[in-house]
Amino acid sequence: MAPRARWAAPRAASRAVGLAAATALVLTACAPGAGSDDGSGEPAPSGPVSTDVSDVGDVTLTVWDQEVRGGQDEQITQLNAAFEEANPNVTIERVSQSFDDLSTTLRLALTGDDAPDVVQTNNARATMGQFVESGQLVPLDAYADAYGWRDRYPESVLQYSTYSGDGRVFGEGSLYGLPQVGEVVGVYYSRSALDELGLEVPQTWADFEAALQAAADAGRTPLLLGNIEGWPAGHVLGAVQGAHVAPEEVQALGLGNEGASWTTPENLEALTQLQTWQEQGWFNEGVNGTDYDAAWQQLADGQGVFLIAGSWLAPDLQEAMGEDAGFFAPPPADGGQLATTGGTGIPFSITSAAEEPDVAAAYLDFLTSDDAMQVLADTGNLPVVDTASYAPESGLLSDVYTAFDDVSSEGALLPYLDYATPTMGDTLGQTLQGLLAGELTPEQAAEALEQDYADFTSSGG
């Protein structure tokens, strides 16, 4: 079972009342981007910023999120209720969709007459970057000053929600979103399966491959993957890249910055290894026809030994597997650095259509407060702020917290590869599906990825 969530409503209410009392006067700082051009040709919103939302009258705040899985839904449901209790004049109208559905519908919604006030928008250039370029998101710098968000978050976290006003530079400029959770892509496993195979948790990349081979020799499915959506294989490739490619190379490729290349020998080695795993039968049958959620459910049902996936699956796997579930960061190659894909969860942003951006900012602040971080931890999620202080003593979540801390403090937490260009998500997904289907060679896959990356960087973004 997942840790029982606990939210002390009186504590939440007293915190909100205290905050309101302390900030009842309207701050005179400029509103986000006041007097500046956001790069879309339209001036950014201007006016005073207030952290007191008690005197704005009755407000309905429309929030679109993708917190649909067990622990994700549990935390946002609790926090929304607590925010409404602390702010009786605010009603939250929540629209919850899967990541894929939200990615599809959000772009159209932001151009319509009934755009939501707060949205979760993927950090990638194809989503947040383009929304910034179009002037559809509010820059949050003045709110960051008013609420102290730059003291709350390290710069290494905020950079993944930061763009120039024209959306061309990723990692520099204004702040456009706040994440709740940290993320790390690692290896889930069945403890009982390892015991039956006489295996220990791998400490090196060679150990990991030996364990995969041992599982195959025993007639078990070594590695589960559901890749019908296309993007899950990118997370597997990210883990493989971490063992073969210098972190600074992956960083440049992931952020769409000039100076890197997909056609290096190291990247070819990573792509080759991914295809070789498929050819050796180390994945389940029909990976490109298997749903992402079906793959982790197969691990829970005892149909496989390992699963490379993100920390966001921990609440569901812990509930399904209990103490049998384990997790470790992809181990380094001999002499190499611990490195894997990760960073932050999908940030919450304020849309330019929000009629009460001050209320929306208060909501973002509430979702990322210390109390909220405790709720996240209690519901099996990975708080992005002060992560180590919330770690449980044992079990799957302890493994996940340890892996995130080890990679982020001692290794390299690498960006998601689809961040790179507005089209890289589709290119990466289609290319890796082709690679796993045997329709593309590693060289052809590298060339396809290189063309997308090079076309974007050579155009100046």
Q: What is the mean pLDDT of the chain?
A: 88
Give the CA diameter of the chain: 69
Pairwise CA distance, residues 224 & 210, whole Å? 16
pLDDT in tens, 264-293: 999 999 999 999 999 999 999 999 999 999
Pairwise CA distance, residues 414 & 420, whole Å? 12
Pairwise CA distance, residues 296 & 265, whole Å? 32
User: 244, 273 in Cβ contact below 8 A?
Assistant: yes
Nearest 5°: phi and psi at 293?
-70, -30
In the chain, domain spans = 22-137+139-175+346-383, 183-344+396-458
Q: Give the β-pairing of 174-175 and 27-30.
A: unpaired
pLDDT of residue 203: 95
Work out the number of other CB atoms within 10 angstroms of the CB of residue 405: 16
* Domain 22-137+139-175+346-383: top CATH class: alpha beta
pLDDT in tens, 415-448: 999 999 999 999 999 999 999 999 999 999 999 9
Record the tokens describing residue 277, joined without a space.
């795993």
CA geometry: angle at 136 spanning 138 and 92, to 5°?
70
Terminal alpha carbon distance of the chain:
46
Lowest mean pLDDT among 32-41, 105-114, 151-160, 327-336: 32-41
Alpha helices for 187-313 (secondary structure H): 191-197, 205-217, 232-244, 247-255, 265-279, 292-300
Angle in degrees, 0-180, between the axes of helices 232-244 and 247-255, rounded to the nearest 10? 150
Q: Which CATH architecture has domain 183-344+396-458?
A: 3-Layer(aba) Sandwich (3.40)
Residue 260, amino acid: A
The pLDDT-based confidence of 396 (bands split at 50, 70, 90) is: very high
> For residue 314, what is the enclosing H or E element?
helix 314-321
Pairwise CA distance, residues 357 & 66, whole Å? 21
Query: Which pTM value belongs to this model?
Result: 0.76
CA geometry: angle at 440 spanning 434 and 443, to 5°?
130
Computed on alpha carbons and rounded to an integer, the radius of gyration of the chain in Å comes to 22
pLDDT of residue 432: 98
Domains 22-137+139-175+346-383 and 183-344+396-458 share a fold: yes
Collapse the DSSP code of 443 into the 3-class scheme (helix H, G, I; strand E, B; otherwise coil) and give the result: helix
pLDDT in tens, 233-265: 999 999 999 999 999 999 999 999 889 999 999
Residue of 304, 297, 303 lying closest to 319 (CA atoms): 297
Residue of 253, 289, 318 lying closest to 70 (CA atoms): 318
- One DSSP character per residue, 268-302 reads HHHHHHHHHHHHTT-BPTTGGGS-HHHHHHHHHTT
